[in-house]
Structure formats: structure tokens, C-alpha cells
Chains A and B, each alone.
Chain A
């Protein structure tokens, strides 16, 4: 029964990883940008949640509604005034600038909040659980995270394929020049994509902070989990990313079940195996 439990908890954990991954996947889809600072932005959002909960004295789940627009605005500004200047044929500038950003965020958080681990306290919901037949308890919080992840991906999917904004995203991604001729300002479109990405990052960051303790150095690991979920699921496929996150979560929990030291290693190895066997991921997008 431990194993079944490990798998179920792994699936729920996978929802969180899909949240880490969704924002990364979104901006890659729109502007081929891989944001090395993505994980650090997740941790930044967690610290932002901490500040909001302590100053306003509200539950972190409510703080999300304050943090998300702030992160979105920050994302728009970051894209328009910094990252847009790096985009072009050369992959080096965006990579190195976001890498520099990652170091700045990590050390900025260290300077302000010290290296002590922090946690967001969501109150009684953290310990509540639902008993299901077979002696397995499903935590309300992990379930909420999973449902949120599914909802976030459904919304992103809808925006991308059904809304005017998504049409603009896809058009700009297909052909920047021609999109400009249609009156789309690509700097603005890219800014909106990053804003949306950081709104998702805010959700991911707050959930991360409720689920586990975090410190300024916790970012890179989150970037890597998100990245692995994206590659396992297949580039450019949001639902695939969710499945990628679930696979990662299950593998980590099974690894931990065998030996606590193997938790992260098992996830990485699963990723490397999929990379070796199916380098385009399990569900790559079929380009028409």
C-alpha cells in the first residue's frame, strides 16, 4: 500500500511541477526564450507571498491575488526593458542575461531575507485530508494544487488556441516580421507573454511556499524540475507538460520510497532515459 500511496502522492506532486513548467513552456512557445531565472522567479514569488502574508496578515492562498498581478507587471517590464533587447538569432544573449538575472535574484533575496529557510502558513488546510478506500489519505492541499494545475493549463490552452491574444502569440511566434505588418507590436506581445508566464510563476511560487520550506537558493532546482517536465511531455504541448510533471513526481516518490537519497536522482534518471529513448518527449506537438 506504501507503493500505491507513493504513486498517488507523486501524481499530485506532478501538478506542482507542471505549474513550474507551464510558464517556461509558454514563453518558449511564443518567443523561443529559455528563461534560466525561471526557478528563481518562482522563489521570488514565494518570498513576495511571505511579505504579503506577514504585512497584511492574510492567508497565502489569498495573498496570491495580490502577488499574481505584481509578478505579471514585473514580467511585462522585465521583458520590455531587458529581455526584448536580447532576442535575435544568437541564443547566447538571452541565456546569459537570464543567467545573470538568476544570480541577481538569488543574492538579492539573500541580502534581504537571509539564507534561513522560510515557509508560508496556510492554516488548517495544510493538514486536512480525505480518506479514500484502501487506507490512503489524500491531502486537501496537494489535491488543491493538482486541481489548480489542471485549471491553469486548461486556461492557458484556451488563451493560446481560442483567444485573440493567443492568436497574436501564435502569429508572432510563426513569423515576427509578418505579424508586425498586421499591426502587432512584437515587443508588447512578448511583454504580455512574459507577464502571463510570471502570473503562473506566482501561483507556482505560493504553492511551493505552502508545500515546503524555501530559501533564496531554492530556485535552480525548480527550474530543472520544470524543464524536465517540459522535455518529458514534449516541447510545445501543455497537456504533455502536465503528464511530464506527473511522471517526474511519480519517479521521485518511488525513488524516495526505495532510498530517501534517491528521490531527486530517480527523477533525473527518468528524464535522461526519456531523453535517450524519445528525444522529442512523449507527446511532441505535431507541426501542421
Chain B
């Protein structure tokens, strides 16, 4: 299970005096899709921010391909091949759709993803390439956010709250596109509130509760009852 691709070891994270994560450990293997579920405030976004370097940690707490990256800056981690689709899209409002995509690819890693590949995946973005990103609908913005993350040709892609605030039909479209995105051997961490979708799309699942890992298991075998216990802390 653990091939040393991404290893998180006893990670504790703080916002000032407030401790958001307590000794969280998790592994992601090469080509593996891991779902992270948990209620609001369980620490999922903090975990994503810690992995990507937006929150700094002790170096050894996060290891990527054997390298201790916990103490690196976010931009250094990005160049190693970690990319994130942030919660709430967070596109750059003063950049056009195409500029948002281009800036995603500006670290210059080689790979299958480029402007044309993203436009093939989401043709609607090509029509709107020169529009301000703020003029798009929520679903189209999510497409830009995903495209922007893909442009970096990452080896590990993080989706933070992939379906939050989107209409059901859009969520369906995004999930239908997902195999085409991560099918090529890319590893992924998917943060999702919808337990069923999370389990269907992932190999393994972690549940966070109040900053601690309350459940870890294979998505195929884990029982709904165990999940809801871990989720709600019954």
C-alpha cells in the first residue's frame, strides 16, 4: 500500500494558537485515488493547505517521493508536481479564462496537458477563452479551476471540496470527466462531502473528525455504518 509516493506522518497543524490537525497520518500510493471525507471543520481544508505548503509544517511531516517537503514553500512544492483545485474555485478575477489556464502551466512541467488538451476536455472553455473568469457560471469556473490545475501536468492532483456549491447536473458532468482526468496514472486526493460519490471514485478513504483520522480503509470494503460512525463520531 505504501510505496512512499506521498506519506503524511503525525501531522499537526495550527492556525495561531488553534490546533486544527492532531497527529494525522496518511499515505497515497502512485496512481492511487484517495478520498478524504469529514464534516465541516473536521480539518480537511487544513490538510490540503498543509500538503500544498500554504501552511508550513515540520519538514519530515510530509514526504513526497521520499523527499521531506513539509517545510517547503507552496511554489516550490508546486514545481515538484503537486497541483490543487482549491475550494470555491478561486480563479484570478483580473485574468481571462485562457490566462488563468496559462498561469497554471507556467511552471513548465512536461506532460499530456496543455491548452488544447484542456479545451478538448471542456470545449465550452474554448468558446469563452477571452472572457473574464468571473463572468462564467459556477460549473464553468470549476472547469477552469480543474484545467488550471491540470496545466501544471501534476503527478498528484488535490481536489478540495470538488462539488461544493455546484448544481447537481454540473457535479455529474465533473464526475463523468474525472476518469479522463486521473485515468492516466495520476494520483489524486479528493475532498468530498458526498460520501457515496467519494467512495465510488476512490481506491481508499480517510475520514477526519475534529482534526484526527477517525477511519481509514479500502473504499470497496468499508461499511456505511463504519463511515457514519467515523463521520459523526457516534
Q: Are B54 and A175 within 8 A (Cβ)?
A: no
Inter-chain CA distance A287–B94, complex, in Å, is 8
Known: A182-B103, A182-B107, A184-B106. A177 touches B93 (CB 8 A): no
Q: Considering the chains assembled together, what is the distance between the CA atoms of A233 and B207 in angstroms? A: 54
Contact A170 B94 (CB under 8 A): yes
Given the known interface contacts A168-B103, A168-B106, A288-B134, the answer about A183 and B92 at a Cβ–Cβ threshold of 8 Å is: no
CA distance A168 to B76 in the complex (A): 16
Tell me which residues across on chain A come within 8 A of B84, comparing CB atoms.
181
Whether B99 sits at the interface, judged by CB under 8 Å, is yes
CB of B186 within 8 A of chain A? no
For B89-119 the 0/1 string (1 means CB < 8 A from A) is: 0101111000100111011000000000000
Given the complex, which residues of B lie within 8 Å of A181, measured CB to CB? 52, 54, 74-75, 78, 83-84, 86
Q: How far is the CA of A183 from the CA of B105 in the complex (A)?
A: 9
Instruction: Give the interface size class of chain B.
Output: 20 to 34
Interface residues of B in 103-160 (CB under 8 A from A): 103-104, 106-107, 132, 134-135, 148, 152
Contact B95 A182 (CB under 8 A): no
Q: Which residue in B90, B102, B107, B132 is a CB contact (below 8 Å) of A183?
A: B107
Given A170-B95, A171-B95, A171-B103, also A182-B90 (CB < 8 A): no
Q: What residues of chain A lie closer than 8 Å to B75, measured between beta carbons?
A: 180-186
Chain B residues lying within 8 Å of A164, measured Cβ to Cβ, are 106
* B93 surroundings in chain A (CB, below 8 A): 174, 287-288
- Give A50 Cβ to nearest chain B Cβ, in Å: 40
In angstroms, Cα B94 to Cα A181, docked, is 17
B60 CB, min distance to chain A CBs, angstroms: 22
In chain A, positions 152-189 with a C-beta closer than 8 Å to chain B are: 164, 167-168, 170-171, 173-175, 177-186
- Nearest B residue (CB) for A172: B92
- Residues in A with CB closer than 8 Å to B106 are 164, 167-168, 182-184
CB of A170 within 8 A of CB of B92, answer yes
Closest Cβ of chain A to B9, distance in Å, is 23
A173: B residues at CB distance < 8 A: 94
Q: Which of B53, B74, B135 contacts A288 (CB 8 A)?
A: B135
Q: Which chain A residues border B95 with CB–CB below 8 Å?
A: 167, 170-171, 174
A178–B90 touching, CB < 8 Å: yes
State which size class the interface on A falls in. Answer: 20 to 34
A207 to chain B, nearest CB (A): 31
Q: Is the CB of B90 within 8 A of A288?
A: no
Q: Is the CB of A174 within 8 A of B92?
A: yes
Report yes or no: B78 in contact with A182, Cβ–Cβ below 8 A. Answer: yes
Which residues from chain A contact B134 at a C-beta distance below 8 Å? 288
- Scoring B83, B86, B92, B93 by chain A CB atoms within 10 A of each residue's CB, the highest score goes to B92
Whether A180 lies near B54 (C-beta < 8 A) is yes
**Which of these, B86, B99, B135, contacts A167 with CB under 8 Å?**
B99
Closest to A236 in B: B94
A175 in contact with B92 (CB, 8 Å):
yes
- In Å, the complex CA distance between A64 and B48 comes to 48
Whole-angstrom CA separation of A170 from B106 in the bound complex: 14
Q: Are B103 and A177 in contact (CB under 8 A)?
A: no
Give min CB distance, A117 to chain B, whole Å.
Answer: 43
Asked whether B73 is an interface residue with its Cβ less than 8 Å from the other chain, the reply is: yes
The residues of B that contact A182 with a CB separation of less than 8 Å are: 75, 78, 103-104, 106-107, 148, 152
Q: Which residues 63-90 of B have a CB within 8 angstroms of A? A: 73-76, 78-79, 83-84, 86, 90
Q: A171-B103, A178-B90 are in contact. List 4 more A-B contacts (CB 8 A).
A: A179-B92, A180-B75, A181-B78, A182-B75
| A residues adjacent to B (C-beta < 8 A) | 164, 167-168, 170-171, 173-175, 177-186, 287-288
Closest 4 A-B residue pairs measured CB to CB? Answer: A183-B107, A180-B74, A183-B78, A288-B132
23 pairs from A and B in contact (CB 8 Å cutoff):
A164-B106, A167-B102, A171-B94, A171-B103, A173-B94, A175-B92, A178-B86, A178-B92, A180-B74, A180-B75, A181-B78, A181-B83, A182-B78, A182-B103, A182-B104, A182-B152, A183-B75, A183-B79, A183-B152, A184-B75, A185-B75, A185-B76, A186-B75
Chain B residues with CB under 8 Å of chain A are: 52-54, 73-76, 78-79, 83-84, 86, 90, 92-95, 99, 102-104, 106-107, 132, 134-135, 148, 152
